[in-house]
Amino acid sequence: MAQQLLMPKATAVWLVDNTSLSFDQIAEFCTMHPLEIKAIADGESAQGIKGMDPVMTGQLTREEIKRGEDDQNYRLKLAPPKVRVPEAKHKGPRYTPVSKRQDRPNAILWLVRNHPELKDPQISRLVGTTKNTIEQIRERTHWNSANLQPADPVMLGLCTQIDLDLEVEKASRGMPRAELEEEERLLSAAQTQNFGDERSNADSDELDAAAVFAKLSSMQKKTDDEDDQDF
């Protein structure tokens, strides 16, 4: 953003009264016409305006004024600002080029379907649309609803992936943690069946082992009885 002189007419009044700069020099510095500066000098204009010292406001230095007074062809330059003030971000809807405006309904439909957590103002900022249009697409009352095809706004060039991720992150803040899905909390029917089969197999193994042990015990007893009869 180009630096601009504050209160140019009040500055011109002060320069006319306190320096020997030419009308042309003052006019160019204050972005005014030389005849306006002459009228100020003659008392025909700006009679009720109090002069403002540009040196006090940090917009001009004493050295710059002296240089201009010594050389009538010299053009005064604004002093660089001592404090850099960041430009205010535009809070309104994002501007969308005319060539891409026909893609906005498709982008809105994509956002509504894929990111239901986004609020209307967020969608408006991303693709540069109105709340009314978003509501029409949500409720399928848009005049072209039958022909809309969801399309990623990033791929369409309506917003950047960073902007989309930031809006999604903002929308997700403070949302309650989703409860576990039913299949995560309860065993499925197949898992229950498998578990039952495994339990049955384990029981069968235990029964088979007991049966074998009983049979071996019976055989051992039979052998002992035969030995007793031999004696």
Q: Domain count for the chain, please give it.
A: 2
What pLDDT shows up at residue 223? Answer: 55
* Judgement on whether residues 40 and 105 belong to the same structural domain of the protein: no
Domain around 152: 98-172
In a domain, residue 106? The reply is yes
- Mark whether 66 and 104 lie in a shared domain: no
Instruction: Give yes or no for a contact between 134 and 182, defined as CB atoms under 8 angstroms apart.
Output: no
- The confidence score (pLDDT) of residue 143 equals 86
| Model confidence pLDDT, tens digit, residues 11-38 | 999 999 999 999 999 999 999 999 999 9
Residues 47 and 111 in one domain: no
CA distances from 61 to 45, 54, 78, 226 (A): 26, 8, 8, 130
Torsional sign, CA 111, 115, 117, 122: negative
Last residue of a domain, one of 70, 85, 118: 70
**pLDDT at 185 (0 to 100):** 46
Based on the domain organization, do 104 and 165 belong to the same domain? yes
- Helical (H) or strand (E) element with 162: helix 161-172
CA atoms of 176 and 182, how far apart (whole Å): 17
- Return d(Cα 26, Cα 8) in angstroms, integer: 10
In a domain, 37, yes or no: yes
Q: Which of 120, 140, 172 is the last residue of a domain?
A: 172
Spatial separation of the C-alpha atoms in residues 226 and 231, rounded to whole Å: 9
Q: Please check whether residue 215 lies inside any domain of the structure.
A: no
pLDDT at 33: 93
Examine residue 114 and state whether it is found in any structural domain, yes or no: yes
- Distance, CA of 171 to CA of 119 (rounded, Å): 7
DSSP designation for 87 = P
Those residues with Cβ within 8 angstroms of residue 81's Cβ, 6 or more apart along the chain or in another chain: 3, 58
79 within domain boundaries:
no
CA–CA separation, 7 and 53 (whole Å): 10
Of 128, 145, 172, the last residue of a domain is 172
List the chain residues with pLDDT less than 50.
1-2, 90, 99, 179-192, 195, 202, 206-207, 230-231
**pTM value > 0.85:** no
| Residue 171: per-residue pLDDT | 85
Shared domain for 53 and 116, answered yes or no, is no
195 belongs to a structural domain: no
Q: Note whether residue 214 is domain-resident.
A: no
Q: Which pLDDT belongs to residue 1?
A: 43
